[in-house]
Amino acid sequence: MKVVFVGHLKRLFGKESIVLEELVEDIRTLIKYLNYLKLDENVIVDRSNTLILVNGVEISALNGLDTKVNEGDVITLIPVTHGG
C-alpha cells in the first residue's frame, strides 16, 4: 500500500510518500505505525488534525478508523490547518 503525505506532513515524514511492505489491517493500525515512523516526536498524527483518504474517499464515508486497508490501496494524509 502507498501512503501519500500532503503539506507539512511531507516534512514530518521526510518524503512525499512511502510504500509499506508491512501488513496493517486498518486505518487505526496504520496511524499508530505512522506515529512511530514520524521525525518529530512532539507532533501526533490523528484524525482530529488530518483528513485521511483511502483510494480518494475520506474515511468518515467508510468505516472511520476501522476502515480495512489492502495491499494496492493508496492512503492520502492531508493536514487540517486552522487560521485565526
Cell numbers describing residue 32: 499508530
- Whether the CB-CB separation of 77 and 48 falls below 8 Å is answered with no
State the pLDDT confidence band at 78, using cuts at 50, 70 and 90: very high
- Strand duo 57-58 + 74-79: pairing: unpaired
Pairing of the two strands 2-5 and 74-79:
parallel
Q: Rounded mean pLDDT of 69-75?
A: 95
Query: Domains of the chain (ranges plus CATH)?
Result: 10-79 (3.10.20.30)
* pLDDT tens digits along 13-26: 999 999 998 889 99
The answer to whether 67 and 54 are in contact (CB under 8 A) is yes
Which residues have CB under 8 Å from 83's CB, separation 6+?
none
pLDDT at 84: 43
Span 44-56, pLDDT tens digits: 899 989 999 999 9
Tell me the pTM: 0.90
d(CA 28, CA 63): 11
